[in-house]
Amino acid sequence: MRSFAQSSPDQRVPVVVAVPVDPQAISAIKNVDGRVEVLFHDPHSEPGARQRMLADAEIMFGIPADVPGGPTEVLRSCPSLRWCHATNQATLDGLRSATFTDEERRRIQITGAGGGHAAALAEFAMFGLLAWAKQLSGRPTARQGADHPLSELAGQTLLILGLGSVGAEVARLGKAFGMRVLAMTRTGNGHAPNVDELRPARFLGDMLPVSHAVVLALPMTGQTAGLVGAGAISRMRSDAVLVNVGHGGVLDGRALVRGLEQGQPAAVVLDAFAAAQLPDDSVLWSMSNVLISPRSAADTDRQNARVLELFVANLRRYLRGEEVVGRLWPAAA
């Protein structure tokens, strides 16, 4: 990577803002350094002009959604590109599973919103658990009699699959509610804050039967695709609540429907689906024990500000010749 700390003070650094932002965001990027030249991607501009602008980009904030070939081809078509910051988790997950050459991995640094989504998604996960515990969605209400008392999260066992920034925040909130927190990672090595027991993936079948709440916070990889399928669902408690704030492909949709129809788990809260959107004819829409947020749990009134803050902090590092934080893959040796 070029070291801008050793460049001349007037070195031009083209930054293409490829997603809609407000004027304050443009100003914040410009104000980082006088070398920064902000170019705004206009989807209505003439295709040739747009391609020339993208080809000139050294840094890209967001990835234009209207360019043929998808995010991977967009990055490959920008020969000057050295760093791209993905502004949403779906794009980042897609790039994580895409195939890049060794040269492309050396040339292009990819970062994403990272922990910027963690607070919002963890809050949504806890909201989902509370909604069922307090009978706010689908289940019989307290006014229907004492046969359906409200429940408490305190004392329940919470199982978290994946301890990235989102999973770690769910663990913190779960512990604050007085829950016993279990967590599963690929290796299960070491200890983690706010986690009572950390186990590797091979013990998933042992942890599910003792868990009142299961939160999926996993990205899509070769190891996690369809991880929670018929076998895992059959091991869940009949009173368990399942929440997915990770990648939708981790959860087998057909097995989930069969499990819900058979009363195992008791309820599910979804913010992610295997497809980009849950089909209109999906039976999940009509099930009373399903709560759906169509990929909007992270879209809070503070989310855009968090994403911009992360990008600006990394832009300063980049211009100083330092490695940016939160890369999709490690720096080349």
| CATH assignment, 4-113+301-319 | 3.40.50.720
Give domain 118-292's CATH number out of 3.30.540.10, 2.30.30.140, 3.40.50.720, 2.30.30.100.
3.40.50.720
> Is residue 209 predicted with pLDDT exceeding 50?
yes
What stretch(es) of the chain map to CATH 3.40.50.720?
Answer: 4-113+301-319, 118-292
Contact criterion met (CB below 8 Å) for 210 and 181: no
In the chain, alpha helices (H): 23-30, 47-56, 70-76, 89-97, 102-107, 118-133, 165-176, 204-207, 230-234, 253-261, 303-319
CA atoms within 13 A on the CB side of 332: 11
74-86: b (≥16 Cβ within 10 Å) or e: bbeebeebbbbbb
pLDDT at 330: 65
For the segment 83-105, what is each residue's pLDDT rounded down to a tens digit?
A: 999 887 667 777 877 888 888 88
Under DSSP, the state recorded for 196 is: S
Spatial neighbors of 138 by CB under 8 A, at least 6 apart, are: 132, 267, 288, 289, 290, 291
For the segment 165-199, what is each residue's pLDDT rounded down to a tens digit?
A: 899 999 999 999 999 999 999 888 888 999 999 99
Q: Give the pLDDT band (50/70/90) at residue 115.
A: low
pTM: 0.73
Please give the mean pLDDT across all residues of the chain: 85
Instruction: Give CA–CA dist 237/140, Å, rounded.
Output: 19
Q: Look-up: residue for tokens 């879209």?
A: 299
